[in-house]
Amino acid sequence: MNIKDKAARFRNLSNDETFKEVVQEIKDQQSSVFLNSQSHIETIKDAHDIIKALNYIENHFNTVFTDEAIFDKKQKD
């Protein structure tokens, strides 16, 4: 698959309102674990891991968009 098609698919997903809502709800739920003084260490660790995974996914999206920008710049030169 070429970078333009891949970036378009990723952009569609990243702009999808349902996808954004799901990601934000998960982040909010996991953040509430940190704010709850009754949370157990294992629960906090799990919440941290989940937020790290979501950040990894977001970073992957950004990498694809950067790759597309580099591809576009090379095409202009």
Instruction: Please check whether residue 77 lies inside any domain of the structure.
Output: no
Number of domains forming the structure of the chain: 1
* Mean pLDDT of the region 49-63: 98
Listed in sequence order, the residues at least 6 apart from 47 whose beta carbon sits closer than 8 Å to its beta carbon are 30, 31, 33, 34, 39
Residue 17 forms part of a structural domain: yes
Does residue 33 lie within any of the structural domains? yes
pLDDT per position as a tens digit, 27-51: 999 999 999 999 999 999 999 999 9
Confidence class of residue 1 from pLDDT cuts 50, 70 and 90? confident
Q: How far apart are CA 52 and CA 66, in angstroms?
A: 21
Amino acid (one-letter) located at 26: I
Say if CB 11 and CB 66 are below 8 A apart: no
Chain mean pLDDT for the chain: 97
Residues of the domain holding 13 = 3-72
| pLDDT at 77 (0 to 100) | 78
8 A C-beta contact, residue 1 and residue 65: no
Tell me if 66 is assigned to some domain.
yes
Instruction: Give the angle 40-32-53 at the CA atoms, nearest 5°.
Output: 85
